Amino acid sequence: MSRRAAVLGHPISHSKSPALHCAAYAKLGVDIYYSAIDVTVERLPSFMESLRGDDAWCGLSVTMPLKSAMVKEVDEVRGAGAHLGVINTVVFERDAGQVRRVGYNTDVAGIVEAVRYAGVVAAPHAAILGGGGTSAAAVAAAQELGAHHVDVFVRDAGRAGDARAAAAAAGISLAVRPLTEAASAVAGTDLVISTFPPRAADSLAEELAALPGSGAGVLLDVAYDPWPSRLAEVWQRHGGAVVPGLEMLMYQAAEQIRRFSGCDVDAAVIDVMCDSVGLPRRVF
C-alpha cells in the first residue's frame, strides 16, 4: 500500500518541501506520496481528526503558522520539541494495531547543520530576528552552537513567548529587544538568524544598507522565496556570509525523511535533494 505524507501550513503553495521529499523517496525507492496541504490554525483540529482511521499516513511536516498549535494534536512530543513546545514534524507510529502521533522538532538540527556546513564552528554571540515558532528552534540551535546569550528582536515584545520559553528550556539567557534597535545591534554579531517570513525584513535591510559596512558575521535567513532576500543582499554587501533558508529546509527535511521512511539518508540522497531545489551538492 502506498503511504502518504504532507507538509501543512498557510500559505503553502511556495513550499519546497514536496520537491525535497519526493526526490528523496524516489532515490530511496520507497512508495510515499508527499504533497502540500493548505491548513489554517482554525482548521487544524478538524483536519487532524479527518486522518484518524486512515492507515496510509506515515508523517506530516508542519510549517507556519501551525508549529505551536500542532502540539495539542499529537499523543506525545519527543526530543527538542518537548522542551520547546513547538514541533514541525509528526510521525505516525504503529504498534499492535494502535497508531500514535508523535511530534518532533527537526528545525533545531536543520539550523545547526546548515550553519555548521557554512563553516561556523562556534557562535558565542547570536541574534534572532522574529519571535514566532521558528525562533524557538533558533534559540535552541544557538545554544547548541555555543552561545550563552541571545538577543531576540521583535516588533511586539508580547509575541516573543516561544523564544522566551525556548531560552528557559535550553538554559540560555535571552533579551527581547525592539526591532528598531536591530540594524545597529546585529552588524557585529557572530551569528544572526532571521525567522521572518518573506519580505518581512525588507525595512530592516534598508536600515542596514544605510550603515557603513563592518565585516558582518554569518546570516541564516530562513525565508527562501524570493531569493536572495533583500536582507541577504545587504548582509553580503557588508562583507558577511549568508546561509540560504533552503539549506536549513534541506537538513531538517532529511531528518523527517529518515523518520517517515525508516531509511538511512546518505550522501547520495542528500545530493538528489540538493538537485531538486537548486542547491549545490555537498562537499564533505
Residue 23 to residues 15, 117, 158: CA-CA distances in angstroms?
14, 21, 40
Place of cell 504503529: 94
Residues noted as catalytic: 67
User: What single-letter DSSP state applies at residue 226?
Assistant: S
Q: Residue 20 pLDDT more than 90?
A: yes
- Tens digits of per-residue pLDDT, 122-178? 877 899 999 988 999 999 999 999 999 999 999 999 989 989 999 999 999 999 999
What is this structure's pTM?
0.92
- The full DSSP string for 96-161 is TTEEEEEEE--HHHHHHHHHHHTT----SEEEEE--SHHHHHHHHHHHHTT-SEEEEEES-GGG-H
- Rounded CA gap, 106 and 88, in Å? 7
In this prediction, residue 141 carries a pLDDT of 95
Half-sphere exposure of 268 (CA within 13 A, CB side): 7
pLDDT-based confidence at residue 284 (cuts at 50, 70, 90)? low
- 126, 108 Cβ separation under 8 angstroms: no
In terms of residues, how long is the chain? 284
Average pLDDT over residues 247-255: 97
pLDDT tens for each residue of 135-147: 999 999 999 999 9
